[in-house]
Amino acid sequence: MSKVLMRQMAKNQSGTITAVKVGGELGRRIREMGIVPGTIITIQGRAPLNDPVALRVMGGTLTLRNNEADHIEIEVED
Amino acid sequence: MSAEFKIALAGNPNAGKTTLFNAITGARQHVGNYPGVTVEKKEGIYECDGKRLKIVDLPGTYSLAAYSVEEIVARNFLLQERPRVVINIVDAANLERNLYLSTQLFEIGVPVIIALNMMDVAKERGIAIDCRKLSDLLSLPVVPIVARKGEGVDELMRQTAQLAAQEREWRPANISYGEDMDEILLTMEEKIKAASFLTDLYHPRWTALKLLEADSQLREAGIRANKKLYEELAGKVKKISRHTMRTLETTPEAIIADYRYGYIKSILMQGVISHQYDINRLYTSDKIDKILTQRFIGPLIMIGVLFGLYQFTFGLSALPMAWVTDFFDLMARGVNHLMADGPLKSLLISGIIAGVGGVLSFVPLIMLMFMGLAFLEDSGYLARVAFMLDRIFRIFGLHGNSVMAYIVSGGIAGGCAVPGVMATRTLRSPRERMATLLTAPFMNCGAKLPILALLIGTFFAKYQAGFMLFLTLLAWVTALLTAKFLRLTILKGESTPFIMEMPPYRFPTFKGLMIHTWEKTWHYIQKAGTVILGISILMWVIMSYPALPAHQRQALNQERQEIINSTSAGSTHRQEMLSGIDRKEAELKLKNSVAGYLGRGLEHVSWLAGFNWRTNIALIGGVAAKEVIVSTLATAYSMGDKVGSDKGSLAQTLTRSPGWTPVVSLSLIVFVMFYSPCFITVVCISKEAG
């Protein structure tokens, strides 16, 4: 098990969110979509220019930009 | 007289809220705006067991924080208007995430009934939900429905009416946010209760919770109500924030959000929900996405779809638009025939009929554009377009969704800024939306094309196609750079977070499309109609007054008389000579009018760009509508205003005129492209910008 930032995850890789390190509007927006510690996510794909990223959370698909994904720490299996 | 109860409809975007609202109220709905903002407010009436339910559709939100206009509007409605019941529509296939909003409704304490929508989709995905258990655990009614098919809607409304009939006090749910938070909440709540701090508006526990979440709206209200107590409470919040930052590296706000999800999980895990398959298994929708957002094929398909939308809108609307125009031409000719010459006739034809006709001729275009756009949005494809293009548009401080407004406005030459500006509604972020709104009119809309075609055809005949492509690219570059400039200056600020839901692909319902299209079109007719009429009358006045002085009119009449005397009756020669005089009169009239004076006055400045007074008048007219430029130019050059027949000769006149060179015409082209959007667009922009 090791901790990485969401940006570094590969397509189809899964992991468990351990921390969301941002406050303010961005932090709230991230959390209200269900990206909170303990949630399992899977990277579903990336846009043609590699940014934004699409991920599966709780059975739905969300998109966010790489610089927003940088605030999210994930624990992944090695 | 039956009792009337106010009912609010709340839910996440994409949960099917609009579909449910349409299913409940049918065509009996009223669309307006919430006071002071551009957020749409829809109301409808439902009658059941002798009770009248007034249903208000709240904007779709994920939360009730005070960040976006939609959230503030939804929250203020709940707290100030105090509806009897909130129908909370929840997507059964996305239960966990959708209940986040519900939790915040429980915190406010308003009586809630849950409409568990898309039960069919959930079933298909192997998700089984025990509605009774959910209802027991939350102590509120839960009604399974399929809004698209109307299933369960009657039962939902029956139970809503029943709930509404009971007079109930608002009681905030007692959700735990962890030991630290619970403790401070209790102390704050007691202080708030003791001092009656904002208790006329909110429940003490809710006030405490919002202060702990550093809610901006509550801060303002708190300072106004009791500054001393507010500061005491804020001090407590600051202290606990420092503590959580030190021990947990996080803020109270984040902790509260985490516990809300914890609360949801704890309920769902008590046997409410069971999954037959792996929760993150890929569904049909995801398989479609594998192709539609694929690195290489995705953008190609997208270009095809956008081009298709463009073709659909402008191709299909051409004929009905021509009908509307023909109808108003016919009306003008009828008036011409029936009335005696005079200012009233001229006002009717050139002011009122031309103005109203101008507005209404856009209606077919706007209807089709909204239908196409609603289809893309409701089907879920628009979210994919934003996803694929966001990286490029973000460079210029815009959003992936800005592309729609640009293309419709004339990003593919020949569009129209009016529907383009209205298309910015799909943008949820205010700053990006404003930047798009203000720059979309730079695109080469259909009304600019005649003047561009005339000038290119006259002075750059050899390179027509290439030149047109160049002008299209020029429009894009200018619009994007201006947007960037705006985002660096007056619309400065962080880009709005892009966190967005990619809804599963769905086939839009016909009823939904029709209601959506009609609403938008009617809105346009109402708003644009009244203002444009006034402006077109104003334009008519400044282009017709003051009238020609008597001695000039006499001179013209004398010339006419001479022609009649010197030629034989009925000969084509006489006809031509006479219409020559008519054209001369039109030119003199225009030159003598307010617009003429303005045009000549502006010559002092405009000679720098190479424009003479005739061009200036045409440009003044062009502010009303770009279509007018060519015809006004023709009038100013005594060519008569029947553009169609005289186009060729107008081109010849321009080539012969000494002041016209390719350089001047290029400067005019650029000027026409960028100087000012037409009035209809201006009206739409100011309406959309609020």
Compare B168 and B151 and report the one with higher pLDDT: B151
Which of B96, B97, B212, B213 best probes binding to A when mutated, by most A CB atoms within 10 angstroms?
B97
Is B151 part of a structural domain of the chain? yes
CATH number, position A24: 2.30.30.90
**Residue A68 forms contact with B (CB below 8 Å):** yes
Please give the Cα distance from B211 to B202 (Å, whole number).
Answer: 12
Closest partner residue to B261 (CB to CB) among A34, A40, A50 is A34
Q: What is the pLDDT of residues B485-505, one digit of tens each?
A: 999 998 887 777 888 888 889
**Residue A47 forms contact with B (CB below 8 Å):** yes
Residue B527 has pLDDT above 70, yes or no: no
Q: What is the chain B residue with the closest CA to A65? A: B498
Is B532 part of a structural domain of the chain? no
What ipTM does this complex have?
A: 0.94
Closest partner residue to A48 (CB to CB) among B93, B94, B295 is B295
Alpha carbon separation from B269 to A14, A37, B144, B501 (Å, rounded)? 22, 17, 19, 24
- The model's confidence at residue B528, banded by pLDDT at 50, 70 and 90, is low
Is B310 part of a structural domain of the chain? no
pLDDT in the model for residue B547: 79
Contacts of A57 in chain B (CB under 8 A): 97
pLDDT in the model for residue B313: 76
Residues above pLDDT 70, as percent of chain B: 94
**Residue B62 forms contact with A (CB below 8 Å):** yes
Range picked from B187-191, B309-313, B578-582, B605-609 for highest mean pLDDT: B187-191
Range picked from B31-40, B139-148, B504-513 for highest mean pLDDT: B139-148
Last residue within a domain, chosen from B241, B275, B309? B275
Please give the Cα distance from B181 to B249 (Å, whole number).
Answer: 15
Contacts of B497 in chain A (CB under 8 A): 25-26, 29-30, 64-65, 68
In the DSSP assignment, the letter for residue B445 is B
Tell me the average pLDDT across B550-573: 82
Tell me the average pLDDT across B156-168: 92
**Residue B461 forms contact with A (CB below 8 Å):** no
**Residue A39 forms contact with B (CB below 8 Å):** yes
Is B20 part of a structural domain of the chain? yes
CB A65 within 8 Å of CB A52: yes
Q: What is the chain A residue with the closest CA to B275? A: A59
**Residue B124 forms contact with A (CB below 8 Å):** no
Q: What is the chain A residue with the closest CA to B258? A: A36
CA distance B287 to chain A (A): 11
CA distance B499 to chain A (A): 5
Q: Tell me: do B128 and B223 sit in the same domain.
A: no
Contact B497 A26 (CB under 8 A): yes
Q: What is the chain A residue with the closest CA to B241? A: A23
Q: Tell me: do B78 and B137 sit in the same domain.
A: yes
CA distance A62 to chain B (A): 5
Q: What is the DSSP string of B469-524?
A: HHHHHHHHHHHHHHHHHHHHTTT-SPPPP--EEEPPP-PPPHHHHHHHHHHHHHHH
CATH number, position B139: 3.40.50.300
pLDDT in the model for residue B645: 40
Q: Tell me: do B248 and B117 sit in the same domain.
A: no
**Residue B394 forms contact with A (CB below 8 Å):** yes
Which of B125, B259, B273, B498 best probes binding to A when mutated, by most A CB atoms within 10 angstroms?
B498
Q: Tell me: do B24 and B82 sit in the same domain.
A: yes
CB B364 within 8 Å of CB B521: no
**Residue A66 forms contact with B (CB below 8 Å):** no
Q: Which two tokens stand for residue B25?
A: 């109220």
Q: What is the pLDDT of residues B533-561, one digit of tens each?
A: 777 777 778 878 887 888 888 888 888 88
Question: What does the CA dihedral B407, B408, B409, B410 come to, rounded to 10 degrees?
Answer: 60
Is B508 part of a structural domain of the chain? no
Q: Tell me: do B10 and B150 sit in the same domain.
A: yes
Contacts of A29 in chain B (CB under 8 A): 62, 67, 497, 499
Q: Tell me: do B228 and B156 sit in the same domain.
A: no
Last residue within a domain, chosen from B226, B250, B275? B275
Helix axes B17-25, B510-544, angle to 10 degrees: 90
**Residue A60 forms contact with B (CB below 8 Å):** yes
Contact A23 B254 (CB under 8 A): yes
Last residue within a domain, chosen from B225, B251, B275? B275
Q: Which domain holds residue B201?
A: 179-275
Out of B268-277, B444-453, B668-677, pick the least confident: B444-453
CA distance B111 to chain A (A): 22
Count other Cβ atoms within 10 Å, centred on residue B228.
8
Contacts of A61 in chain B (CB under 8 A): 286, 289, 501-502, 504
pLDDT in the model for residue B532: 66
Q: Which is nearest to B127 in space by CA: B17, B272, B240?
A: B272
Q: Tell me: do B95 and B188 sit in the same domain.
A: no
**Residue B392 forms contact with A (CB below 8 Å):** yes
Closest partner residue to A63 (CB to CB) among B249, B298, B387 is B387
Which of B98, B253, B391 best probes binding to A when mutated, by most A CB atoms within 10 angstroms?
B391
Q: What is the chain B residue with the closest CA to A43? A: B280
Tell me the average pLDDT across B227-241: 94
Out of A15-19, A45-49, B25-29, pick the least confident: B25-29
pLDDT in the model for residue B642: 43
Is B33 part of a structural domain of the chain? yes
Q: Give Cα B64 to chain centroid, integer Å.
A: 23
Q: What is the pLDDT of residues B429-472, one digit of tens each?
A: 788 889 999 999 999 887 787 788 778 878 887 777 778 778 88
Contact A19 B249 (CB under 8 A): yes
**Residue B580 forms contact with A (CB below 8 Å):** no
Residue B644 has pLDDT above 50, yes or no: no
Domain count, chain A: 1
Q: Tell me: do B96 and B131 sit in the same domain.
A: yes
pLDDT in the model for residue B460: 83
Domain count, chain B: 2
Contact A64 B100 (CB under 8 A): no
Contact B501 A52 (CB under 8 A): no
**Residue B283 forms contact with A (CB below 8 Å):** no
Q: Tell me: do B146 and B14 sit in the same domain.
A: yes
Question: What does the CA dihedral B413, B417, B423, B429 come to, rounded to 10 degrees?
Answer: 110
State chain B's mean pLDDT as an integer. 85
Q: Tell me: do B54 and B82 sit in the same domain.
A: yes
Contacts of B299 in chain A (CB under 8 A): 48
Q: What is the DSSP string of B243-273?
A: HHHHHHSS-HHHHHHHHHHHHHHHHHTTTTE
Burial of B256 (0-12, 13-18, 19+ CB in 10 A): buried
Tell me the average pLDDT across B229-245: 94
Q: Which domain holds residue A62?
A: 2-76
Is B63 part of a structural domain of the chain? yes
Please give the Cα distance from B303 to B322 (Å, whole number).
Answer: 28
Contacts of A20 in chain B (CB under 8 A): 254
- The model's confidence at residue B601, banded by pLDDT at 50, 70 and 90, is confident
Contact A65 B390 (CB under 8 A): yes
Q: What is the chain B residue with the closest CA to A69? A: B499
**Residue A12 forms contact with B (CB below 8 Å):** no
